């Protein structure tokens, strides 16, 4: 599968639903309040990302790294 750019092109309070996210390396980005529903995130590195007040629901994480992010008040439900 080819590298995607969903997180790079996402802004705070956006919604990502039912996307296959692959090989993204995102650094120092504000993604506060995003909603991620039913996505598969694979082979990705998210470094210093602000995810506070976000919602991750029904999402699969495969071989990912989350480094030094802000996950305060984030709702994570049914993550695999």
Q: What is the pLDDT of residues 43-77, one digit of tens each?
A: 999 999 999 999 999 999 999 999 999 999 999 99
Q: Which residues pair with 42 in a beta bridge?
A: 22, 62
Task: Name the phi and psi angles at 76, rounded to 5.
Answer: -115, 115
Q: What is the pLDDT of residue 50?
A: 97
CB 8 within 8 A of CB 28: no
| pTM to 2 decimal places | 0.91
Q: What is the pLDDT of residue 1?
A: 76
Q: What is the pLDDT of residue 43?
A: 98
5 Cβ neighbours under 8 A, 6+ residues apart: 24
Query: What mean pLDDT comes out for the span 5-30?
Result: 96
């Amino acid at each position: 599968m080819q590298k995607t750019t969903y997180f790079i092109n996402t802004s705070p309070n956006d919604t990502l639903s039912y996307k296959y996210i692959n090989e993204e390396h995102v650094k120092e980005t504000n993604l506060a309040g995003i909603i991620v529903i039913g996505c598969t995130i694979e082979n990705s590195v998210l470094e210093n990302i602000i995810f506070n007040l976000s919602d991750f629901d029904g999402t699969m994480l495969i071989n990912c790294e989350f480094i030094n992010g802000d996950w305060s008040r984030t709702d994570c439900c049914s993550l695999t």
